[in-house]
Structure 1
């Protein structure tokens, strides 16, 4: 099972189908396409800043390998490790770009494939109950007024 995030414009409201035409589902996890076709994958997904960053990073790794006098095998190994890192972080960079463009994560679903994830996300978005929202404060937060708190330790100073 794989998790997917649903990205919609900030002003989209649960239950409205109008914005679902422009919704994007981003799978979480390793991206084989980003691993194999690094720069082309980023260009295909219109991730311009990420493309530029990845391209500069790959060029910097190649130049550093040359300056350090790495053997061709070690250069290949370093490039392979960088490609693995890119495959691991490609989905996160895609989510970051969507959030920067005004399409934050609105929901997350777990499904076997993209078609099932799309069906689940649309059913939750259009269903009678809106998708769950992130809590504003964590459950263990102190709500007692007037209690002095230093840092992250919610203990009263008088109880030492």
Structure 2
């Protein structure tokens, strides 16, 4: 079964108003990214990855041509780059989303993207009741401190009846 990672924009906060912008990125091999690497990068608006791909391919071809490699070796190198693009396409998408200040919310295992959406939103709505924004939750009063009288931590706990704590008797006593 395919694994999907769910990403949300950090700027809007994670609430029900931003659900139409959530991205589901399928992990695994992307055939079209292997076959049409630069077009796939343009289609998914991975501009920095496209620049890196162009630089890498040109550098590999120049180095192999400088070394006197034949066309078969250059073709094999381009084939390896295409396979790497197919295997790492999802990682490039996640990397670009994290650079754009998106955060990963969850990982979902489902048959297809629609089932992944259903499974994620079922789980997400059960965890967060409507109107609950986890970024602005009131946590209540400040934590208790030892310096404020009347707080639960103001007084140390009483010593046990025998006056012995753990394995050691009173400090400075005989052994």
Q: What is the TM-score when the length of structure 2 is the normalising length?
A: 0.69
1:42-82: CA deviation from partner (whole Å, max 9, x where unpaired): 11111111110111111111111111111111111111011
- How far apart are the structure 1 equivalents of 2:16 and 2:45? 25
Alpha-carbon distance in structure 1 between the residues aligned to 2:126 and 2:74: 55
Gaps of 5+ in 1: 131-160
- Greater C-alpha radius of gyration: 2
What's the counterpart of residue 113 of structure 1? Answer: 112
Deviations 1:81-119 (A, max 9, x none): 111111111110110110111111111100111111121
Matched residue, 2:157: none
Partner of 2:152: none
Q: How far apart, CA to CA, are the structure 2 residues paired with 1:94 and 1:36?
A: 17
Distance between the aligned counterparts of 1:119 and 1:76, measured in 2?
43
Instruction: Tell me the secondary structure at the aligned position of residue 6 of structure 1.
Output: strand
Could you say which residue in structure 2 is the equivalent of 1:54? 53
What's the secondary structure of 1:8's corresponding residue? Answer: strand
User: Where do 4+ consecutive residues of structure 1 move more than 3 Å?
Assistant: none
2:7 aligned residue: 7
Number of equivalences:
127
Match of 1:29 in 2: 28
CA RMSD, 1 decimal: 1.2
Aligned residue for 1:38?
Answer: 37
SS at structure 1 position matched to 2:29:
coil
Distance 1:123 1:54 in 2: 38
Partner of 2:18: 19
1:128 aligns with 2:126: yes
Aligned mates of 2:48, 2:127 — CA distance in 1: 37
